[in-house]
Every structure is written in structure tokens, then in C-alpha cells.
């Protein structure tokens, strides 16, 4: 027998449409879905069940006509940090420049200072609070980056916390090494030496300890240059680690094309990516991971080229980019609304971006992000009129039930 069987619900499977006229949500009305262990064992119309529900499963659950979707996937976050930068928001609105805030001890280096000073247990407690907000909003998979330590021990500390986060919460955690996030004050005049430290010491150690699922870098004119990023990515390739990249957020540095050269899982932000970069990404199968929370928060005016992504067949993902400086966001449904209103994505594109495509961005497409037999049973049930409504509310929308690996969340 199956462990659990849900009946009397509607399901947005998020299976890819095979024809332009197909339903982009892959809907099954008056559906049923069964789980065995952590996997989906059966899915289809309730009328097609092979026998009476109570003879098929140990537990039968009435969905009361609600909508089920895959659990949401947040494929770009920076949730492991200490310190508070909310006062910087007020200062900026009162006319204080980012440069002046940095001179006053604020900015990313203030987060680095506070994160270095915090213990693993403190960082875990803080990260759990943020992750629990994400879970309440329907997220079942979270990518978590390092990048606020910028020393060997502090980067390892962040990555260990990320691994522990996936052990103490039901959410699945994908860990990303982002030592190339900023230059630490100790290396401000020795930038290439810092890159060498990452390549020769920090990344190999983190990989050897099993703490890294992918490698990221912030490629921008205020951060790491393309040549420095190539050095890091070459080392990642030697260690057989996939890469992703913060690319073309503030200017066109060729980050999209650079991502394509390494067949990066995703190029993130990409507001300024060129058409040539988009075409390279399309050929490489690199996802454009759009981050409207940061776009909104820093009041950016140059939107990512969504029309070009559509024209050239580049899949678009969405993520919160949750971080203390530019995107204090934890709700993926709020991000979906921003993507629709600010970037003119459709609700169907937005939901695919945080399910099926988000899974691709973490190399998890064979296990999550869609509802089909054999897939991981990470799911959410919503009291909505249809899957389009997930992009309608400006935050605040939460599922009435979250299912992790086939087990309903008790919280």
C-alpha cells in the first residue's frame, strides 16, 4: 500500500508543455496523488485510481478542492550572516551615499566583521529563523551561499552551518562556495593574492570536507574581474564542481558569455547582459536567474532583457537573493509578483521559475521541481483559485500545507 494518498484536489504538476497550446501549468483537475516513502508513487485524475482510496493507502487525505504545486525552490540566497544593516536602508533614503555608509563601517564588510565574530551556533540560529520564514512561504529547497567570511576558517564555518541547516530543518539545502564575493580588507591591495588563496587553499579544503555543491563568483567592475573568475572556475572544474555566477548586474562585463564558457548552471542578476551573452547562454543551456528583490530594493532602472531570453530560448529562474544589504526578502510568491510587475513575466513563467527551472538551476531537475511519478514528494497545498493566483498577492500568501519528502509539515 501507499503511505499517503491525497484526493479531491487540483494539481499544477509544472510538467513542461509539449505544444504551445498546452496548459503551461500541467494542470490535473479533481486529481489524486500518492506517496511511498519520500517519492511520488502515483499521480493522475481521481477517476483513474485503480481502486477505492481507502484500499490503496494507509492514510487518505481530503484536499478540499485546493491546489497543489511542487514545493518552491529558492535557488539564490545569502541567509547565513550576522549583524543588522536595516539602519543603512534608512540612511540611504535620507541621502547618505553607499560610499559614505561604508566609510562609517557599514556595507558588506560590516556583515563580514559580524559574521566572522559569530559562532557556528549563533549563525545557525539566525539562519534557521530566516529559513523558517521561507518554509512558511512554501519553499522546500534552498540554495545557501558562503561569502561573508572571506577567510579559510570563516568560509568553512558558513558552509558547515549551511549543511547543518539541512539537517535540523526539513528543507533541502544546496551549498554554494562564494569566497569570491568581495575582497577582504586584508587583501584590498593584493586582490590576485586573495584569488590564489581561494584557488589553492579555501576551495580545495571546503571541497575535501564535502561542504560544496557548486561554486559562485561576483563578476562585476566593483568586484572580481573576468580573468580572476576564470582562474577560480578553472579550479572548480578540476574539482568537478559546477559553477554559477553573479553576472552583469550593474554593467555588461561579459558575464553571460563567461558563464556559458563554463556551462554554468545559472547566470544570476543579468540586468545588463548583451544579446551576444544571451545567445551564448542559450547554446550552453545556462539559466538566467533573475533577482527582482535586489532590482526593487536598490531601485535599479535597467531591467533584465526578458524578451531576449524568450526569443533565444534561455530559461528564466527566480530567487529571493535574501541578503542583508540589497534584498531582505524571504517570500518567493512576493518575488513572483515582482517578476510579473517589474519584468513583465507571466504568472506561468514565474511559477515555472521557482519550481521546474529553479530545480535545473541547482542540478536537481531529476528529483524535484515537478510532480510526477518517481519525483521527490516535496509539495505545497494552497487555498487559491488557480496557480496564477500565486503571482497575484504582493507577499503574505502562504500554503495551508507543506509536504517534505512525503511527510506533511507539522508547523
Binding residues for 4-imidazolone-5-propanoate: 85, 148, 181, 249, 326
Q: How far apart are the first and last CA of the chain?
A: 27
Binding-site entries: 76, 78, 85, 148, 181, 246, 249, 321, 323, 325-326
Binding-site entries for Fe(3+): 76, 78, 246, 321
d(Cα 355, Cα 181) in Å, to the nearest integer?
26
| Residue tagged 559553477 (cell numbers) | 243
Closest listed residue to residue 367, CA positions, set 406, 338, 340, 331:
406
Binding-site entries for Zn(2+): 76, 78, 246, 321
Concatenated DSSP letters for 159-228?
HHHHHHHHHHSSSEEEEEEEEETS--GGGTT-HHHHHHHIIIIIHHHHHHTT--SEEEEEESTTSB-HHH
d(Cα 205, Cα 164) in Å, to the nearest integer?
18
**C-alpha cell at position 307:** 524578451
Handedness of CA 350, 355, 356, 359 (dihedral sign): positive
d(Cα 173, Cα 383) in Å, to the nearest integer?
27
3-state secondary structure of 3: strand
- Pairing verdict, β 72-74 and 67-70: unpaired
| Residue tagged 520564514 (cell numbers) | 133
- CA 202 to each of CA 199, 207, 263: distance values in angstroms, whole numbers, following the listed order: 7, 9, 23
| Residue tagged 508547523 (cell numbers) | 411
- CA 190 to each of CA 193, 199, 332: distance values in angstroms, whole numbers, following the listed order: 5, 15, 38
Please say whether the beta carbons of 176 and 208 come within 8 A: no
- CA 195 to each of CA 147, 233, 244, 385: distance values in angstroms, whole numbers, following the listed order: 13, 11, 17, 51
- Pairing verdict, β 214-219 and 57-62: unpaired
d(Cα 150, Cα 65) in Å, to the nearest integer?
50
Binding-site entries for N-formimidoyl-L-glutamate: 148, 323, 325
3-state secondary structure of 150: coil
Amino acid at each position: 500500500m501507499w503511505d499517503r494518498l491525497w484526493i479531491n484536489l487540483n494539481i499544477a504538476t509544472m510538467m513542461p508543455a509539449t505544444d504551445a497550446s498546452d496548459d503551461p501549468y500541467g494542470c490535473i483537475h479533481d486529481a489524486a496523488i500518492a506517496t511511498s516513502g519520500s517519492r511520488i508513487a502515483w499521480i493522475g485524475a481521481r477517476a483513474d485510481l485503480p481502486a477505492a482510496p481507502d484500499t490503496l493507502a494507509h492514510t487518505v487525505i481530503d484536499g478540499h478542492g485546493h491546489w497543489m504545486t511542487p514545493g518552491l525552490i529558492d535557488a539564490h540566497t545569502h541567509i547565513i550572516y550576522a549583524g543588522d544593516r536595516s539602519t543603512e536602508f534608512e540612511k540611504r533614503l535620507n541621502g547618505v551615499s553607499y560610499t559614505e555608509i561604508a566609510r562609517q563601517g557599514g556595507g558588506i564588510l560590516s556583515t563580514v566583521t559580524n559574521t566572522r565574530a559569530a559562532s557556528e551556533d549563533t549563525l545557525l540560529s539566525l539562519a534557521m529563523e530566516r529559513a523558517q520564514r521561507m518554509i512558511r512561504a512554501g519553499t522546500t529547497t534552498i540554495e545557501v551561499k558562503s561569502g561573508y567570511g572571506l577567510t579559510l576558517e570563516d568560509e568553512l564555518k558558513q558552509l558547515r552551518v549551511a549543511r547543518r541547516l539541512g539537517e535540523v530543518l526539513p528543507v533541502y539545502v544546496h551549498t554554494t562556495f562564494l569566497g569570491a564575493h568581495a575582497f577582504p580588507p586584508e587583501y584590498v591591495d593584493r586582490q590576485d593574492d586573495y584569488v590564489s588563496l581561494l584557488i589553492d587553499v579555501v576551495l580545495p579544503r571546503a571541497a575535501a570536507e564535502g561542504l560544496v555543491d557548486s561554486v559562485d563568483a561576483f563578476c562585476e567592475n566593483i568586484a572580481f574581474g573576468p580573468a580572476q573568475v576564470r582562474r577560480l572556475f578553472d579550479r572548480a572544474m578540476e574539482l568537478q564542481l559546477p559553477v554559477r555566477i553573479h553576472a552583469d548586474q550593474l554593467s555588461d562585463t561579459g558575464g553571460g558569455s563567461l558563464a556559458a564558457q563554463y556551462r554554468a548552471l545559472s547566470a544570476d542578476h543579468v540586468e545588463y547582459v548583451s544579446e551576444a551573452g544571451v545567445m551564448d547562454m542559450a547554446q550552453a543551456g545556462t539559466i538566467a536567474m533573475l533577482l527582482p528583490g535586489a532590482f526593487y530594493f536598490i531601485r535599479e532602472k535597467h531591467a533584465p532583457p526578458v524578451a531576449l531570453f524568450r526569443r533565444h530560448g534561455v530559461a528564466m529562474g527566480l530567487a529571493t537573493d535574501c541578503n542583508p544589504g540589497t534584498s531582505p526578502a524571504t517570500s518567493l510568491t512576493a518575488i513572483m509578483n515582482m517578476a510579473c510587475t517589474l519584468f513583465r513575466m507571466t504568472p506561468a513563467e514565474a511559477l515555472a521559475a521557482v519550481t521546474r527551472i529553479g530545480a535545473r538551476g541547482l542540478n536537481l531537475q531529476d528529483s524535484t521541481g515537478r510532480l510526477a511519478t518517481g519525483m521527490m514528494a516535496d509539495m505545497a497545498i494552497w487555498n487559491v483559485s488557480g496557480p496564477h493566483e500565486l503571482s497575484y498577492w504582493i507577499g503574505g500568501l502562504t500554503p495551508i500545507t507543506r509536504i517534505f519528502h512525503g511527510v506533511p509539515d507539522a508547523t
